[in-house]
Amino acid sequence: MEPLLELRDVTKRFGSKVALRSVSMSVSPGEMVGLVGPNGAGKSTLIRVSLGILTRDSGSVTLMGEDPLVSPRARESVGVVFERPSLPPSMPVISFLRRAARIKGASDEDVKRAVELAGLKGYEDRPFAHLSAGLKQRAAIAHAIIGSPRLIIADEPTSNLDPVERESVLELLVELKKQGASVLLSSHVLSEVLRVVDRIVVLKSGSVAISGGPEEILKGLRRVRVRTPEPEALAKELGSMGLKAATSGPEVIVQLEGNRDADLLDALAKAASKGIKIYGVDMVEPNIEELLR
């Protein structure tokens, strides 16, 4: 199947600074791709180059089969959520959405559906400037999903949101994917992307550092944190069972290589039977810095 978005060897410079260096990536129909990287890695630049908002110095971009720099039609079935939600400040959101729908070739019925899906119902008559940060983000999402676009590009859609709102935005993206949309989700929070995407592209200093499925990416990064008053003794005990364990203050961090979850449980049970107290066990959320190390 032809990708909805494809970048080949794209390089973008801002003066002497190289923002993107020979980046190649794609988003296929029905796929949710995570674009991950620390701040300044080039995620937003990649998105803007993909949409034809920024020019590129070399390489090619194909969006819906066309070059977005040459053909604005390429953006016809693309919904975009930008990092900073921005709509006309004084215009009632619903008026703006209706106008935007006409630009996108969608109907008022599509607007109604988008408002409901984005959880904006009851707030749509307010001017954008009068909405809270979370509602602004929802308005931006409603704007992006008008007319059921084939591709949704979301640039840090969960930034500035509280954990509950973050979760609901991610759930909404998953729901849209289920309804047939492809999604390019950019974030600097690896753990939140890992849960929802099919594939991850990790950017570092404008280059693709790592690319693959979440399982593949997570290889060697699955770790468990065990809280105990006797970290030295527990680490020794786990080590004797062939597990990679290291102390970190009042905790023991265990690296889970391969399928050794059962071994860990056995080892913890054995340690407890020897009188080592265990207060709690949880997964350590992987972060980008570790991934890029």
93: alpha, beta or left, given left = phi > 0 and alpha = psi -120 to 50?
A: alpha
**Region near other proteins per CB under 8 A, out of 33-41, 79-87, 218-226, 281-289:** 79-87
Q: 75 vs 199, which CB is nearer to other proteins?
A: 75
Q: 87 vs 267, which CB is nearer to other proteins?
A: 87
Q: Is 86 in the site for other proteins (CB under 8 A)?
A: yes
Position among 96, 158, 161, 186 found at the interface with other proteins (CB under 8 A) = 96
Position among 61, 94, 100, 264 found at the interface with other proteins (CB under 8 A) = 100
HSE-CB at 164 with a 13 A cutoff on CA atoms is 2
Asked whether the beta carbons of 58 and 2 are under 8 A apart, the reply is no
Q: Is 39 in the site for other proteins (CB under 8 A)?
A: no
User: How far is 140 from 172, CA to CA, in rounded Å?
Assistant: 13
Q: 76 vs 285, which CB is nearer to other proteins?
A: 76
Q: Where are the alpha helices (DSSP H) in the chain?
A: 43-51, 93-104, 108-117, 133-145, 163-178, 190-196, 214-218, 231-240, 261-273, 288-292
User: How far is 12 from 57, CA to CA, in rounded Å?
Assistant: 5
| Residues 6 or more apart in contact with residue 129 via CB below 8 angstroms | 89, 90
**Region near other proteins per CB under 8 A, out of 24-32, 78-86, 160-168, 223-231:** 78-86
Q: Is 72 in the site for other proteins (CB under 8 A)?
A: yes
Residue 286 has what DSSP assignment? P
Position among 5, 33, 75, 256 found at the interface with other proteins (CB under 8 A) = 75
Q: Is 80 in the site for other proteins (CB under 8 A)?
A: yes
Q: Kindly state the smallest distance separating residue 53's Cβ from other proteins, in Å.
A: 4
In degrees, rounded to 5, the angle at the alpha carbon of residue 157 between the alpha carbons of residues 21 and 44 is: 20
Stretch 123-162 residues interacting with other proteins (CB under 8 A): 143
At 190, phi and psi to the nearest 5?
A: -60, -45
Q: Is 202 in the site for other proteins (CB under 8 A)?
A: no
Number of residues that bind other proteins (CB under 8 A): 32
Give residues in contact with other proteins (CB under 8 A). Answer: 48, 51-55, 72-76, 78, 80, 82-91, 95-96, 99-100, 102-105, 143
